[in-house]
Amino acid sequence: MRDTTINDCRIIDLRKIHDVRGNLTPIEGGVDVPFDIKRIYYLYDVPGGESRGAHAHKELYQLIIAANGSFSITLDDGTEKRSYNLNRSYYGLLIVPGIWRDLGDFSSGAVLLCLASEHYDADDYIRDYNDFLNYKKR
Ligand code: TYD
């Protein structure tokens, strides 16, 4: 989707079921996130100083959660940028299609959990920043 902006992305305050035995956060597709969840992946063992992301998706919706530790995400719609530091297991960052993202500042032991609206599709990626800017202009 070409006409999305960073204002279409937002932090979703997930439910937190507090318990002295440990807290629990459930996420249901179409209920807690505005899409059906077709895929889950997680990123872990990220070496210090490493960065990830640096791409946009054409159709994919994602909810990104710091399941453990923290990291930063900078969103970019080709006009405006906004950075988030995710550091709580009950906050999810909703990223809509057509948004460039850069990830970095991973803390030691950070686990990035991603819930995605589609199965993996290499053709859904825009990996070149100039291609992204051209895609947004059209
Ligand atoms: P990529 O999305 O480029 O990672 P990041 O943007 O976080 O740096 O994915 C890295 C590799 O993993 C790439 O070769 C594609 C593969 N991959 C899958 O096979 N399935 C998936 O669901 C994802 C997210 C990646």
What confidence tens digit (pLDDT) does each residue in 4-37 have? 999 999 999 999 999 999 999 999 999 999 999 9
The rounded percent of the chain whose pLDDT value lies above 90 is: 97
HSE (CB half, 13 Å, CA atoms) of 9?
30
- pTM value is 0.97
Measure 60 CA to ligand 1 centroid, in angstroms. Answer: 13
Q: Which residues does ligand 1 sit against, CB inside 6 Å?
A: 39, 41, 43, 52-53, 55, 120
Spell out the domains of the chain, with CATH numbers in brackets.
6-137 (2.60.120.10)
